[in-house]
Amino acid sequence: MNSSVRVRFAPSPTGPLHIGGVRTALYNYLFAKKNNGTFILRIEDTDQTRYVPNAEKYIIDSLNWCKIPFDEGPEKNEKFGPYRQSERKEIYKKYAEILLENGWAYYAFDTAESLDFLRKEHEENGKTFIYNWHNRSKGKLVNSLILTEDEIQKRIQNGDDYVIRFKSPQDEILEMEDEIRGKISIDTNTLDDKVLFKSDGMPTYHLANIVDDHLMEITHVIRGEEWLPSMALHILLYRAFDWKAPKFAHLPLILKPVGKGKLSKRDGDQLGFPVFPLAYKNEETGDISRGYKEDGYFEDGFINMLALLGWNPGTEQEIFSLSELIQAFDLKRVSKSGAKFNPDKTKWFNQQYMQQKSVVELANLYEPILKEKGIETEKNTIEKVITLIKERAIFVADFWELSNFFFQAPTTFDEKAVAKNWKEDTNKLMEQLLIVISTIDDFSSQNTEIIIKDWITKNEIGFGKVMQPLRLSLVGEMKGPHLFDIMEIIGKPATIKRIETAINKF
């Protein structure tokens, strides 16, 4: 495929960006980069009643955090700008008029009340009301197909509310091709005449979407399967304008972890995981929704997880860098069926990426947490600690629970562990151990282990009778990495002091 590939991510700024939307953006980005193409962000804000002022910034911040920034979009390389639909109203009006002129659209002056009456009337007769070829010219509906030109102009001049509807063709089987789902056939008799333009000067999604995709030279429309029912109308609109249609690919839904249906914010709230990339504050209610970034997920692990939620590389490989995803991505390997979201698998990805991070990078992330707790220590010490504990961590926030005893002496001791491991002769053994420790000059883990184990062996003491109380003295619990590594990092004076504290306590 050549460098002319152009794809777009076109969210509505009506609130925070759901991870389903992030995945759509990601697949568009991967496809564009795989084919040396262009990834475009377009803000589809024609529905001003649902517009949320801070949503556009949130969308852009989310894409940037995910490291999938757009090439063209609002205030960036505006080759075919503007990239907000609310700023393109005059463009849509022009194209709506073209459809009127060539007979592919018509004015409809029906009131909401009259349409409601017709719907109820049909329901009472066990039927479904569809505004299309079946009834648009029979006289019950008021539109330009039955009105004279004078009547039409008079209504418009009088300020009567109207919409412009698409005139769907009759008695045709429309053959379409989807890059993921293959061939699709639609009987045009089942289509309704969708509204394309309203008298308030705003287009509907359908008209604005098609016009923008054409003018912005979009070659592939990669979007969620909720838009699959609109595909026939969009293909017909391209035909009405005598434009070449882009290729379409409709992505599967991201499904709930349990039960059926699309993943929602409520599922995340109930099961304890975020469904948004970044935390989001509702300006009206003050409610804050959790985000993957703020919950401690690495952006590369998050993206890796999302990429495999509906796409299969065809191999056993699960861990992909962004550049590897770009090379491997293929629309033909995107599933037709929904992908069930797995919160535990998401944590697993984060843990895998934790192991890939350098100790220097992780130390930089852990240092602010330590400073918040009033702990100032050498960066080198933090790096040594992380080397010992990171395999047991899922998030950087787990580091404190796994390593707090490196930075502060225990103030409480596990009662069950004390009852099990601190016997009548333990204080005497610990006092003897202190004498051994005081003679050690090279306090490296390896040397200290050799000396203490030699002492235990020569004196025919059971290892558990010394090692378990020693761990309790240093950690406060029966947890932590290799005991002699702990001793090396906290140092000889702190080791002696902690043992003395335990002896005095028990």
CA atoms within 13 A on the CB side of 469: 26
**CA proximity to 235, closest of 227, 244, 226:** 244
Stated as kind and residue range, the H or E segment containing 105 is: strand 105-108
**CA separation for the pair 24, 249 (Å, rounded):** 11
**CA separation for the pair 369, 409 (Å, rounded):** 18
Beta strands in 123-240 (DSSP E): 163-166, 173-178, 182-187, 195-198, 220-224
Q: For 313, list phi and psi in degrees, rounded to 5.
A: -70, -10
The CA angle 74-61-325, to the nearest 5 degrees, is 95
How many helices (H) and strands (E) would you count in the chain? Answer: 20, 13
Residue 168 structure tokens:
């769907």
Residue 222 pairs in a beta bridge with: 249
**CA separation for the pair 481, 147 (Å, rounded):** 84
- The contacts of residue 462 (CB under 8 Å, 6+ apart) are none
CA atoms within 13 A on the CB side of 174: 22
Q: What spatial distance separates the first Cα and last Cα of the chain, rounded to whole Å? A: 75
Please tell me what DSSP assigns to residue 340: E
**CA separation for the pair 256, 264 (Å, rounded):** 7
Residue 288 pairs in a beta bridge with: 281
* Residue given tokens 């702190």 in the structure block: 494
- Amino acid identity at 462: G
Pairing between β-strand 6-9 and β-strand 38-41 as defined by DSSP bridges: parallel
* Residue given tokens 């409601």 in the structure block: 116
> Is residue 293 flagged as an active site residue?
no
Task: State whether residue 175 is helix, strand or coil.
Answer: strand
CA atoms within 13 A on the CB side of 357: 28
Task: State whether residue 254 is helix, strand or coil.
Answer: strand
**CA separation for the pair 354, 372 (Å, rounded):** 22
Catalytic residue among 76, 89, 265, 347: 265
- The contacts of residue 392 (CB under 8 Å, 6+ apart) are 398, 402
Cα–Cα distances in angstroms (integers) from residue 40 to residues 80, 82, 278, 363, 434, in the given order = 10, 12, 21, 36, 68
Q: Are the beta carbons of 84 and 51 closer than 8 angstroms?
A: no
Active site residues: 265
